[in-house]
Amino acid sequence: MSEELAEKLWGVLEQVTGFIYPNETELHWSILIVVYPYLTGLVAGAFILASLEKVFDIPEVRPTYRLSLLTALAFLLIAPLPLLLHLGRPERAYEIFLTPQLRSAMAMFGFVYAWYLMAVLLLEIWFEYRRDLIVWARQERAPMRWIHRLLALYSADVSPEAVAFDKKAIHVITIIGIPSAFLLHGYVGFIFGSVKANPWWSSVLMPIVFLMSAIVSGIALVLFLYMVLTPLRGETIDMRCLDKVAGYLFYAVIVDFSLEALDFIQRLYESEESIKILATLITGKLFISLFVIQVLLGMVIPLGIMVATRLLGVNEELRKLLYFTSAILIQVGIFSTRWNVVIGGQLFS
């Protein structure tokens, strides 16, 4: 090798501070793993919104309380399905409860899921609907009478003392449910954040960012469902409730945006070897999904819409349209966030 060529190669090698190869032609974690944290985030966010009425005594959000609980239950029941469909042998999934590896975060999540489903969500819903189930059982004919009696666990006490006990039980369960909801979704961020070998995932802020984006997506979903289902039931949308929920959504988006910006700024400040790899990733394959969909459509535009709504004092009908649009854009942005985390971390090696 000539001396001139050796000097040129050495000059090139001095510029190499990391490596990124396009050899990951097959992604091991597919769209199903993207859907899973998105669904658990909806569960956690919807439950947090429900807690505002029972724990923090905010009466304006009362019309969304039951809707929030049922939304959380519906998505919690289907949340494991993407994982099961991703497995090669889903019929063996039950073994995680029989022979768990106690040091595995994934194994322990099975117990967190069971706790949140049976000891928190189902129990709170039962206490909330117990009196109604008893009344329905007395009014309906068979077979709905039998179904309602069964769901009420054959309880027949609708005295003021029993109803007061139900309310106290709901209050206690909701207090327990708040940290449980944090654990339910924060663990997903913990899984990704603890992968030290992947600079796209490895971050101490990952669990917090996941949790905050979950609150954003859950509130936005309940807002969307409330605006869709209320007219279908022949009822009038409570604008005080809608404005209050939209206000909490506004502040949640601000906090979520700030946390994600803080995470990115911290990475830039550290300027580790991996920063050039990440820069190549976000300016290339993830540019559309990250900057256009997640940041612009999912955060900046909804924030601008809600700021304009507050400053301009628009009428009710226009506010409904703007809130509805913001909720949809936020859902698209949060799903893009999950995509960028799960898929983006597999686009380089």
Structural domains counted in the chain: 1
**Tens digit of each residue's pLDDT (9 = 90 or more) over 66-101:** 999 999 999 999 998 998 888 888 888 888 888 888
pLDDT at position 265 is: 86
> Is residue 18 situated within a structural domain?
no
Half-sphere exposure of 60 (CA within 13 A, CB side): 10
Q: Is residue 7 part of a domain?
A: no
More confident residue, 67 or 14: 67
Mean pLDDT score, 151-158: 90
DSSP structure string for 271-326? T-TTHHHHHHHHTTTTHIIIIIIIIIIIIIHHHHHHHHHHHHT--HHHHHHHHHHH
CA 181 to chain CA centroid, nearest Å? 10
Q: Decide if pLDDT at 309 tops 50.
A: yes
Range of the domain at 296: 32-346
Q: In the chain, what percentage of residues exceed pLDDT 90?
A: 50
Is 250 contained in some domain? yes
CATH of the domain at 173: 1.20.1630
What is the distance between the alpha carbons of residues 314 and 322, in angstroms, rounded to a whole number? 10
Residue 2 covered by a domain: no
Query: What is the pTM for the complete model shown?
Result: 0.88
- What Å distances lie between residue 4 and 10, 21, 151, 252, CA to CA? 10, 28, 84, 59
Higher pLDDT, 341 or 202: 341
pLDDT of residue 270 exceeding 90, the answer is: no
pLDDT band (50, 70, 90) for residue 189: confident
Contacts of 322 (CB under 8 A, 6+ apart): 305, 306, 308, 309, 314
Per-residue pLDDT, 23: 47
State the average pLDDT for the chain: 87
Q: Is residue 3 part of a domain?
A: no
